[in-house]
Structure 1
Amino acid sequence: MDGEVRINPYLSGNFAPVRSEDDFDLPVTGEIPAGLRGTLYRTGPNPQFQPIDPNYHWFTGDGMLHGFRVADGKVSYRNRYVRTPKWELEHEHGRSLFAGFNPMLSDPLTAGKDGGVANTNILWHAGRLLALEEGHMPFEVAAGTMAPKGYAEQYKGKVTAHPKIDPKTGEMVWFGYGVGDMPLSAGMSYGVTDAKGVVTRRSDFQAPYSAMIHDFLVTENYVLFPVLPLTGSLERAMKGLPAYAWEPEKGGHVGVMRRDADVSTIRWFNVPACYVFHPMNAHEVDGKIVAEVARYDAAPLFPMADGSPGLRTAARLTRWTFDLGANSDAIKEEAIDDLDCEFPRFDERLAGGAYRHGFYAGDTTNAKSVKLNAIAHLDLATGKRQVHAFTGGDMTSEPVFTPRSADAPEGDGWLTAVVYRAAEDRSDFVVFDALDVAKGPIGMAHMPRRVPFGFHGNWVAD
């Protein structure tokens, strides 16, 4: 109706920001395993001030880190903003200045200034804790305190929020997209950081078109770049239309390259229009690459190119097979699960290799949204699935796997996650036995307030 105030869904409910920085010791129920020692770090968008873009998108909020420190069956919590140059500039002026996906709305004070938000992932590599967001370089923070250390300048440009760490070599393999002088370009980079934290490679190439390329796949010998039709267009944005939009007529492409090869050797495979935010893992077998991905029929959360609303759709686990010896560049697709899902994870000691156990956040309600109410385990060898569904409107984060010990069998360990308790408007840190998800949490630590919905996290062992 006329005069109705539109509430941005990304600024309400458990998407709404929490602006206090706190330190809590948390009461525990059940049992937090004595062998679980370390910190679950998570990050997500948490705008410091009311956004200036009335169409504020969840992906563009300031990064806030949440750390759940676990030792001797006890859990403590600390959260801090990632004090990026953007955060510092807006903090100085006491208001929002950057406008996310629509730079036309940004304040003139932002001209020439860095707008990175470090809000998507956080991981440990080579003795550094890195907060990541795909439009900028990694931003280093101090382990424990989360105090800012600044951009890792050696990367010299954009780095994905989803690097892969090779468990055999200790290398961090990564990419960047939208690389080049022009925003929303089709330029990409492929990069490698060695086990000591030194960037040893950054090679640039052109994708078939400009797209939001959130994640990618790495095997022992290959790297795969999915260029799927959630397209970027500066020309479109300058007309007041969406910077990123779903354009299925462009089809999908996945570039496959040997990790030690030149980028000129990339072979582009084709797949019908679909979208993947997150793969689970990929490995090589008999001259083929086999990958498990969370596949959408259409990109969620984004509009069509003409600005009309996008489609409501959910992801399902799908197996992609690339036959490297065949004359065809078609990708074979096979559905392997029928539960709506997101945030697939696995035992990352097997990253890039053959594996059996996968874990993910699921939705048993068919809501087709990013709000997920279940934790699931899928045995890829048998196809058997275990699910624990939370009730009463409670929602879970991505489950993060931690092995019981360095040499424990695959999947022998724990899943940790953060669950929003809707009726109480607060959150819990939960621990599952990874191979007995159906039993439900074996231990919980209770927050006095909520942790807003976020993206990714990783466990950093003591």
Structure 2
Amino acid sequence: MSSKFNKRSRALTIPTASPLTRRHLLQGLAFGSLASLAPAGFAAGANPGNPAAMAFGQSYAPFDGPLAAAPGDGFTGTLETADIPLRGRLPEGLRGTLYRNGPARFKLGATRYQHWFDGDGMVQAFRIGNGKASHRGVLLRTPKLLREEAAGRFLYPAFGMPLPGGLPVSDADAVNVANINLLPMAEGRALFALWEGGSALQLDPQTLAAQGFKAWSPQTRGASFSAHPRVAQDGTVWNFGYAGHSGKLLIYEIEAGGVLKRQAVFDAPQADMVHDFAITARHLVFLLMPLHLKPDAPQVGSLDRYEWRSQAPLIALVVSRADFSVKRFELPNGGVFHLGNAWEEQGVIRLAYARYTDFLGHMQGLTLPAPSATLAQTARWTQVELNLAQGTARQTDVGLQCVEFPSFDRRFTGERTALTVLMQTSPGSLSQRYGPDRVLALTAEQVQAYSYGPDWIAEEHLYVPRPNAPQAQPGWVLGTALHRASGRTTLSVFEAATLADGPVAQLALPYGLPLGLHGQFVAA
């Protein structure tokens, strides 16, 4: 199914950094991110009698792994296995570290967070080489975590609820849990944990110890730094930030060595929740969905503070990397978390994303009476063409449903890539799952699929290229999955060319890890 719109692009005037930049960006940042979509009452301390909250907590309790217990009950904040038991054989050329990040600690004192996105971040490092692998997982000691551990209780409201007796939030980083993604820089010598509402948290790449929040410039100290930066082929890091109610986006252009080169702020419609974007060789591409904060909405509370405008378009903003000029396109109404790669061919930008037909309605459906499927339940893999010269947009549903977490060969970010890795929840078993159970390898010619089976919850899987190999030579697919019956986490390695044949190697940890969000692979 395809939809075509013949609407001329409209150029927008963009203000660069100005004296108002910091005020506009910081206003509302503490509650502007993805996790703000959590409904009210999703903390046991806030409303312990809420049936939906109780059901959610009971459903997720087995998946907390060793973090189900409070630190005082035996978990010290670090997990380690020097030599993970191996089944099969690791490919000889596969050497490096798979880093993963995600929410982990949900309980402290008498209160338990019962929305997945609210947990304190924990980073995992799987180090692979010489035919074996090790694991180290560290609960990130953010300023929030340190203050709350000292107090023996949660002190700050989470995105989904006001915390009775909690402290006021002075700035975004006071509640920064650094729990979404990671950004390696300087060929792996620098590592940052990311949370889209505030600053990047610098980590020691070896120990994973937190080293403090990163300020890319005085003007952007404490400002939103998205959890989905894109790294161009020359090593330049492009990223953005947003603030609910502000109607603005902030762009960062950072040199490969970590020095901010440029920053700019510009007006952006429908920018109350922007989780991801894409880049081409010449442009940045934002898909802005019609999810709006109501003018008088409180900073925290309920999904009722958002409204979904079902008659409004999904807006594509195309921003020039050279001068930050903007073109606007309109696509059919829809929502989006994640985009795949994007590139340009003869003046046409091509990209793909996981499209939700009713983003807000779907989020509400996840909470009553308890989450019964993955975020990908209604997401469909959708291709987009933006013709820069003609000002037209075309969208095509390729027929893949219940998919999310796209991955591709990051060496070719902004150029055409042939293979995309996707996670899928099996249609027909949605009511029984809290995460994907299948991994897909998608090309123009075929879709390969591997199913873990009904006892597994699979997490994001990454495409990892062979060292120094051309794009045409397929690499590997790496990803973790939680075995529900045993409560243990396994890392699987696939040959991308024969993914449907199953893993060529699996490494089973002697413990389970909390379900995570995103990761990055750094080659040795």
TM-score (norm 1): 0.89
In the other structure, the counterpart of 1:197 is: 258
> How far 1:71 moved relative to its partner?
1.4
**Over residues 369-390 of structure 1, what are the superposed CA-to-partner deviations in whole Å (9 max), with x where a residue is unaligned?**
651001110112x2x1100001
> How far 1:323 moved relative to its partner?
1.2
In the other structure, the counterpart of 1:23 is: 80
Q: Which of 296, 299, 305 is the equivalent residue of 1:235?
A: 296
Higher relative contact order (CA 8 A, sep 6+): 2
The change in CA–CA distance for 1:438 and 1:103 in structure 2 (over 3 A counts) is: closer
Alignment map for 1:107-186 (pairs within 5 Å):
107-112=165-170, 114-126=174-186, 127-155=189-217, 156=220, 157-167=223-233, 169-178=234-243, 184-186=245-247
**CA–CA separation in structure 2 for the residues paired with 1:398 and 1:297:** 22
Look up the equivalent residue of 1:170 and give its one-letter code.
G
Tell whether the 8 Å contact from 1:8 to 1:55 is kept in structure 2 after alignment. no
What secondary structure sits across from 1:235 in the alignment?
Answer: coil
Tell whether the 8 Å contact from 2:65 to 2:511 is kept in structure 1 after alignment. no
Tell whether the 8 Å contact from 1:377 to 1:437 is kept in structure 2 after alignment. yes
What secondary structure sits across from 1:314 in the alignment?
Answer: coil
The change in CA–CA distance for 1:45 and 1:74 in structure 2 (over 3 A counts) is: same
Asked whether 1:373 is paired with 2:437, we answer yes
Look up the equivalent residue of 2:232 and give its one-letter code.
D
What are structure 1's unaligned runs of at least 5 residues?
A: none
Asked whether 1:94 is paired with 2:163, we answer no
Look up the equivalent residue of 1:173 and give its one-letter code.
W
**Over residues 242-301 of structure 1, what are the superposed CA-to-partner deviations in whole Å (9 max), with x where a residue is unaligned?**
276450334321211111123xx3222112221111111111012111101111212266
Asked whether 1:296 is paired with 2:349, we answer no
**CA–CA separation in structure 2 for the residues paired with 1:239 and 1:121:** 23
What secondary structure sits across from 1:405 in the alignment?
Answer: coil
Alignment map for 1:239-250 (pairs within 5 Å):
240-242=301-303, 245=306, 247-249=308-310, 250=312
**CA–CA separation in structure 1 for the residues paired with 2:247 and 2:462:** 32
Look up the equivalent residue of 2:246 and give its one-letter code.
S
**CA–CA separation in structure 1 for the residues paired with 2:110 and 2:126:** 32
Tell whether the 8 Å contact from 2:55 to 2:370 is kept in structure 1 after alignment. no
Tell whether the 8 Å contact from 2:270 to 2:291 is kept in structure 1 after alignment. no
**CA–CA separation in structure 2 for the residues paired with 1:3 and 1:59:** 21
Look up the equivalent residue of 2:156 and give its one-letter code.
F
**Over residues 194-233 of structure 1, what are the superposed CA-to-partner deviations in whole Å (9 max), with x where a residue is unaligned?**
1111011111122213421100010000101111123334
**CA–CA separation in structure 1 for the residues paired with 2:153 and 2:277:** 35
Look up the equivalent residue of 1:359 and give its one-letter code.
V
In the other structure, the counterpart of 1:332 is: 394
**CA–CA separation in structure 1 for the residues paired with 2:352 and 2:359:** 18
Asked whether 1:271 is paired with 2:340, we answer no
Asked whether 1:321 is paired with 2:407, we answer no
In the other structure, the counterpart of 1:391 is: 453
Q: Which of 438, 451, 454 is the equivalent residue of 2:516?
A: 454
In the other structure, the counterpart of 2:140 is: 82
What are structure 2's unaligned runs of at least 5 residues?
A: 1-47, 68-74
> How far 1:339 moved relative to its partner?
3.9
What secondary structure sits across from 2:497 in the alignment?
Answer: coil
TM-score (norm 2): 0.79
Tell whether the 8 Å contact from 2:169 to 2:175 is kept in structure 1 after alignment. no
What secondary structure sits across from 1:424 in the alignment?
Answer: coil
Structure 1 residues 424-433 or 19-28, which shifts more? 19-28
The change in CA–CA distance for 1:54 and 1:196 in structure 2 (over 3 A counts) is: closer
The change in CA–CA distance for 1:57 and 1:13 in structure 2 (over 3 A counts) is: closer
In the other structure, the counterpart of 1:427 is: 489
> How far 1:418 moved relative to its partner?
0.4
**Over residues 323-346 of structure 1, what are the superposed CA-to-partner deviations in whole Å (9 max), with x where a residue is unaligned?**
111244xx3111224242110101
Asked whether 1:416 is paired with 2:416, we answer no
> How far 1:14 moved relative to its partner?
5.2
In the other structure, the counterpart of 2:278 is: 217
> How far 1:172 moved relative to its partner?
0.3
In the other structure, the counterpart of 1:9 is: 56
**CA–CA separation in structure 1 for the residues paired with 2:372 and 2:115:** 16
The change in CA–CA distance for 1:308 and 1:224 in structure 2 (over 3 A counts) is: farther
**CA–CA separation in structure 2 for the residues paired with 1:85 and 1:122:** 18
The change in CA–CA distance for 1:110 and 1:74 in structure 2 (over 3 A counts) is: farther
Look up the equivalent residue of 2:448 and give its one-letter code.
Q
Question: For the aligned residues, what is the CA RMSD?
Answer: 2.7
In the other structure, the counterpart of 2:124 is: 66
Tell whether the 8 Å contact from 1:281 to 1:292 is kept in structure 2 after alignment. yes
The change in CA–CA distance for 1:80 and 1:232 in structure 2 (over 3 A counts) is: farther
**CA–CA separation in structure 2 for the residues paired with 1:295 and 1:4:** 31
**CA–CA separation in structure 1 for the residues paired with 2:65 and 2:248:** 33
In the other structure, the counterpart of 1:360 is: 422
> How far 1:419 moved relative to its partner?
1.0
